[in-house]
Amino acid sequence: MRYVSTRGGIAPVRFKDAVMMGLADDGGLLLPEDIPLVSADELEAWRTLNYPELAFRIISRFVDDIPAADLKTLIDRSYATFSHPEVAPVVHQDGVYILELFHGVTLAFKDVALQFLGNLFEYILAERTQRLTIVGATSGDTGSAAIHGVRGKAGISIFILHPHGKTSPVQALQMTSVLDENVHNIAVDGTFDDCQDIVKALMADLEFKQTYGLGAVNSINWARVLAQVVYYFYAWCRVAKPGQKVVFSVPTGNFGDIFAGYIAWQMGLPIEKLLLATNENNILTRFINDGDYSVGAVVQTLSPSMDIQIASNFERYLYYLFNKDAGRVRSAFDQLKNEDKISFSTQELEQVKRVFSSCSIGRRETLDTISDFRKKTGYLLDPHTAVGVRAAQKIASDEVPRICLATAHPAKFGEAVTEATGEQVPLPSAIARLEGAPTRCDQLPADKERVRRLIIATVEPVR
């Protein structure tokens, strides 16, 4: 299996190089040259597999440069850290199916991908006797999942910048209570944008980047998408009859999660529609419903992990929408740069609607959904999941099984849940035991030189 760039500017690479490259060297995103197909018979045979077994069947289709036994071990280790024996169980509540993706160490679905990516990085680095210094900015979820994905791993150091006092207390604790020597938390006196600007500036300094082996774990890494494809198959196997089509409702920010569903659809999983649910940051809903892909300002909502305007994985979908025409992808992003929008033909928009439908859910409706669901079923939804559940109730018919992806545990966003229901959310042990735990974190001004000096003082140059 070889990987190509959406911008068409690199020679094809194999899986391990695609993982290490992250962003393609031509500025595009990496995608498999061909998508493997899964037959109806195979799907039926997969029903009895447990999560790691199924993950191996799917992931190995995309990987031909890691021996099967090694890949199996990497996958088994990644999902052994989940607290639920099923890894991603499906529950049926009030006419919808909830795919619980929050049983990983940081209680959000990003663990599904980042546990695997951490193990994969360690394996490839050991084989190549290389070292990697991960530098990233976070407003909460990604940073903690990344830290837990690589803590204690040989050959990897990680520096995560978060805006001091601006993440939720739980999110901050999930990061700063990790005391492994290779983990470095930096609380920046500034905003998330300041953090991101510092990371971008450090990455743009090629001399520094190469000397210290800087890399990223953001959602554009192909291995993250690949790991997420698995749970679409897993949920289908739990819910659907042979050959039966289902709808997946996906609370969407960076388009990584739902893009994995799109890959599953291309592989032949019987999917009627992928329902893209957004909060008030609704550029992707405007795109799907009206062909309007014009960038607005980011607004803060109850579902902060979806507060995004430019979804980084969207480029991957455009590559397929444009029939793998890298030239058309390049011109679309030139237009975006110059005009803050991308224009589409009528025929392209018809194509989009064959797979996707979309709905934007505001603050009031999100709170009402959490409280209605609680009253009817006793089940607590986190605000991200509530956006997806509401979208499914609104625009998907109940004649087709509706599977809603639950992307975070309600206790992780307890304030919103309490606002909706008036109840305190009981803390799962993974959070409760953080209370009063020792922490380690450097507090720095929003100054890239100070961050650079900290990295230089902490890690040895890689060359």
Give the residue numbers marked as catalytic: 110
Q: Considering only the stretches 54-62, 72-80, 250-258, 440-448, report the one whose residues sit in contact with ligand PLP under the rule CB under 6 A.
A: 250-258
Q: How far is CA 354 from CA 128, 140, 317, in A?
A: 44, 34, 14
CA angle at 437 for the pair 421 and 143, rounded to the nearest 5°: 70
How many whole angstroms separate alpha carbon 225 and alpha carbon 392?
A: 23
Residues 358-397 that bind ligand PLP (CB under 6 A): 384
Contact between 257 and ligand PLP per CB under 6 A:
yes
Residues 170-229 that bind ligand PLP (CB under 6 A): 219
How many whole angstroms separate alpha carbon 173 and alpha carbon 282?
A: 30
Q: Which of 110, 162, 316, 374 binds ligand PLP (CB under 6 A)?
A: 110
Q: Which of 253, 261, 410, 414 binds ligand PLP (CB under 6 A)?
A: 253
Q: Considering only the stretches 116-124, 165-173, 246-254, 443-451, report the one whose residues sit in contact with ligand PLP under the rule CB under 6 A.
A: 246-254
Contacts 24+ apart (CB under 8 A), 334-340: 336/295, 340/294, 340/295
Q: Which of 252, 282, 366, 393 binds ligand PLP (CB under 6 A)?
A: 252
Q: Which residue stretches of 47-129 are H helix?
A: 51-59, 68-80, 110-127
Contact 148, 177 (CB under 8 A): no
Residues 294-333 that bind ligand PLP (CB under 6 A): 305-306
Q: Which of 59, 87, 108, 112 binds ligand PLP (CB under 6 A)?
A: 108
Contact between 417 and ligand PLP per CB under 6 A:
no
Q: In whole angstroms, how close is the CB of 255 to ligand PLP at the nearest point?
A: 5
Residue 326: CB partners within 8 Å, gap ≥ 6?
Answer: 5, 6, 7, 8, 9, 28, 319
Contact between 149 and ligand PLP per CB under 6 A:
no
Number of residues lying near ligand PLP (CB under 6 A): 16
Beta strands (DSSP E) in 246-354 are: 246-251, 271-278, 293-294, 341-342
Q: How many CB atoms lie within 10 A of CB 425?
A: 19
Nearer to ligand PLP, 257 or 365 (CB): 257
How many whole angstroms separate alpha carbon 202 and alpha carbon 91?
A: 44
Q: How many CB atoms lie within 10 A of CB 323?
A: 9
Nearer to ligand PLP, 32 or 388 (CB): 388
Residue 33 exposed, middle or buried by CB count within 10 Å (0-12, 13-18, 19+): exposed
Contact between 256 and ligand PLP per CB under 6 A:
yes
**What one-character DSSP code corresponds to residue 380?**
P
Q: Considering only the stretches 247-255, 316-324, 335-343, 357-365, report the one whose residues sit in contact with ligand PLP under the rule CB under 6 A.
A: 247-255
Q: Which of 43, 408, 431, 455 binds ligand PLP (CB under 6 A)?
A: 408
Nearer to ligand PLP, 108 or 135 (CB): 108
How many whole angstroms separate alpha carbon 349 and alpha carbon 425?
A: 42
Q: Considering only the stretches 54-62, 251-259, 314-322, 418-426, report the one whose residues sit in contact with ligand PLP under the rule CB under 6 A.
A: 251-259
Q: Which of 28, 190, 213, 251 binds ligand PLP (CB under 6 A)?
A: 251
Q: Which of 254, 281, 357, 371 binds ligand PLP (CB under 6 A)?
A: 254
Nearer to ligand PLP, 29 or 446 (CB): 29
Contact between 279 and ligand PLP per CB under 6 A:
no
Structure tokens at 355: 């797979």
Helices 256-267 and 222-239 cross at an angle (nearest 10°) of 60
Q: Comparing C-alpha atoms, which of 14, 12, 119, 30 is closest to residue 65?
A: 14
Q: Considering only the stretches 58-66, 255-263, 344-352, 431-439, report the one whose residues sit in contact with ligand PLP under the rule CB under 6 A.
A: 255-263
Nearer to ligand PLP, 109 or 212 (CB): 109
Q: Considering only the stretches 174-182, 253-261, 317-325, 355-363, report the one whose residues sit in contact with ligand PLP under the rule CB under 6 A.
A: 253-261
Q: In whole angstroms, how close is the CB of 296 to ligand PLP at the nearest point?
A: 17
Residue 442 exposed, middle or buried by CB count within 10 Å (0-12, 13-18, 19+): middle
Contact residues toward ligand PLP (CB under 6 A) are 108, 110, 141, 219, 251-257, 305-306, 384, 407-408
